[in-house]
Structure 1
Amino acid sequence: MKLKDKVFTKPIEKQFEFDEEVASVFDDMLSRSVPFYKENLNLQINILKNFLDENDKIVDLGSSTGTFLIELAKKTDKKLDLIGIDNSPAMIKRAKNKAKAFGVDIKFVEEDFLNYDFSDSKAVIANYTIQFIRPLKREKLIKKIYDSLMNEGIFFMSEKLITNHKKLNKIMIDEYYKFKKKMGYSEYEIARKREALENVLIPYTMEENMEMLKNAGFKEAEVIFRWNNFATFIAFK
């Protein structure tokens, strides 16, 4: 049973981080904070399955509680080398426990993405992860992802977006807040989370994300999903 996210029902005492408190309720937080999270995850898996061969390496950057890789393992008959990388010990612990409970073989590693060698990957996944990487390191990481992929390799990237149109940007944020209220978050919780994520989550525009993929060397990039200020990109090496 998922624990209910009540992280922001109390005053903020520190900058947002993926600690034990967040990890314990993260699955609930995702389902209530990210529009169409489950549907988007299933879409990525269904697309990815069409490109997979036996023993392919699939790497999830910012694997959190392991949901993507666990679902992929459950939905394919192929033997795959599945690796989840996260720098949060609490997330890694929960991911390992979940994988064990589902009886799937996944390696979860507590490490910095920029330090870990995930070369020869068939696919790299980064769902709502790149937005937490400081801008000065972001393009370096995307280039590393490109270099780490096999030829014809695939990169999935889901991100929160901003737009340069000020009025539209405000409308998009307001629509997102309506979504969160519909999912049971109070105005206090929404305001507290926004404050906690300030200068921690730094979103780019659609154009900036596309340019970043192009600059890294990806030959093709498409948007396969978008809702308001959330989008998922697929890029091919």
Structure 2
Amino acid sequence: MVSEVKQEMVRPLRDTLFSVDTVQEDFVFNERVVEVFDDMLDRSVPFYREVISSSARLLDSYLHSGDTVYDLGCSTGTTLLEFCRLLEDKGLHFVGIDSSGPMLEKAQLKAELYRKQESIRFIEEDITDMHHPDAGAFILNYTLQFIRPLRREAFLRNLHSSLRPGGILLLSEKIISHDQRLNREFIDIYHQFKKARGYSELEIAKKREALENVLIPFSIEENRSMLKQIGFTTVETYFQWFNFTSLIAVKAS
């Protein structure tokens, strides 16, 4: 009975947040977003599950038993729960960090439901003002784009200094192209992707309006250049679908 209650509490509602004529506020990670967030990710982020499984393969290759993986902006814990499943024999420690209490409450419930509460620790903390030295890996899944551009370099420098030698940063982001025609084409293809998953033209337009001043993407070149300037010796793309990409950045051993 307890398990059934937890299943009901963690089951995401269908995302209909933007099926309205007027957006009242910029996009924020509040209780209303938490309730639909997993559905939002599955229907809004291309190849979301495949990126997680690909990231797990890189963690398996680069990390050692006893290493700690930090998921920054972990939201409802989906990524860490999948890492636990895929890397259960690796001997890793998993920590999810988020500034949203409601997100972490949902993440903790999911960890308990799937009996992973001993494997994952959740911390409510501002990721731009944290100190977790000797990390094996930091995960930034569609998180950096929500940090103000002027603060990104200092934030990433802190992550670089906090990684152990040979540690890695896995960065997934929405991106822009500085070729205006290509950028328009990529956005249109992405909107077609969302329509195929049940979002209406109104919902797509209203969400874009809500995110306009909150989500500020860089190009692949800008992200790569920033990571190299900070000191990562290797920065490579391991996934791209039009205006979405994932990068691995490796700290020198």
TM-score, normalising length from structure 2? 0.91
5+ residue gaps, structure 1 = none
Partner of 1:127: 141
Map 1:103-182; keep pairs closer than 5 Å: 103-104=115-116, 105-182=119-196
* Residue in structure 1 matching 2:92, options 68, 80, 85: 80
Distance 1:114 1:206 in 2: 22
Map 1:1-237; keep pairs closer than 5 Å: 1-10=11-20, 11-76=22-87, 77-104=89-116, 105-237=119-251
Deviation, structure 1 residue 13: 1.1
5+ residue gaps, structure 2 = 1-10
Deviation, structure 1 residue 80: 2.0
Distance 1:95 1:117 in 2: 22
Q: Secondary structure at the match of 1:117?
A: coil
Deviations 1:46-95 (A, max 9, x none): 22112222211100011001111111111221332211111111111111
Q: Secondary structure at the match of 1:155?
A: strand
Deviations 1:200-237 (A, max 9, x none): 00000111000110111000010000000000000100
Distance 1:146 1:116 in 2: 13
Deviation, structure 1 residue 152: 0.3
Greater than 4 Å deviation, 4+ residue runs:
none
Identity between Structure 1 and Structure 2 (%): 47
Q: Which amino acid aligns with 2:111?
A: A
Bigger Cα displacement from structure 2, 111-120 vs 148-157: 111-120
Paired residues in the alignment total 237
Deviation, structure 1 residue 148: 0.6
Bigger Cα displacement from structure 2, 3-12 vs 166-175: 3-12
Distance 1:95 1:216 in 2: 32
> RMSD of the alignment, in Å?
0.9
Distance 1:178 1:145 in 2: 35
Distance 2:97 2:32 in 1: 19
Deviation, structure 1 residue 14: 1.2
